[in-house]
Chain A
Amino acid sequence: MRIQILGTGCPKCITLEKNAESAVKKLGIDATIEKITDVDKILDMGVMITPALAIDGIVKSAGKVLNVEEIEKIIKGERK
């Protein structure tokens, strides 16, 4: 699983990245976390509000700092 954190590097983006790392650790899954800070790449994915979180190229959330539990729920939904 590839988890992407989209954002230009503001505190909210950093928090979202840390929460994603915690969720992956808690679930004990094999996932890579990739940070995308390039505005053009972010816009290419249709994201107009950051921070955003995508899984395997599909944007799951934008403009929100998801907490660990919320990210876990999204990941679990993907694995079903």
Chain B
Amino acid sequence: MSCCTGNTVLIFPCSGGANTGKASDMVARKLTKDKVGLISCLASIGAGVSGFIESAKGATYNIVIDGCPLSCAKKIMDKNNITNYKHIIVTELGIKKGETKITDEVIEELVEKIKEKVKD
């Protein structure tokens, strides 16, 4: 939980069933470990849990990580009028849906690319 820090970044991976969804989840956990932000729960947003929705709205910004261009995570944020996010699509970062094996090295590469993308 973040209290009165003035700068809070929440991370919402799609955590979908494909390899790309798995990557989104693993990357979100690594970004949390690296203190880029704090992983949150996309399912809670979809379920309409007010505390999660308002926390996302009150964050400095959110990092929404989708595995593929279907952009389910982004759509869930949009449906709940959460607009303060930076959107990442894993397949746009060199990962092929259904093909690329998600290894620690792949996650590390993705983490560095995302850190670069969300700068500023």
Contacts and interface: CB of A to CB of B under 8 A. Distances in A.
Do these two chains really belong together in a complex? yes
Interface of A: 7-8, 10-13, 39, 42-43, 45-52, 54, 58-64
Interface of B: 1-4, 8, 10, 38, 40-41, 44, 49-55, 57-59
Contacts of B3: 7-8, 10, 49-50
Contacts of B54: 47, 52, 59-63
Given A52-B54, A58-B50, A62-B57, A43 B1 contact: yes
Contacts of B2: 48-50, 63
A1 to B, nearest CB: 16
Nearest to B3: A50
- Secondary structure call for the A interface: mixed
A57 B13 CA distance: 27
B1 A46 contact: no
Contacts of B57: 62-63
A26 B58 CA distance: 26
Given A48-B2, A49-B8, A54-B50, 18 more contacts: A10-B4, A11-B4, A39-B1, A46-B55, A48-B40, A48-B51, A48-B55, A50-B1, A50-B3, A52-B58, A58-B50, A59-B50, A59-B51, A59-B53, A60-B50, A62-B54, A62-B55, A62-B57
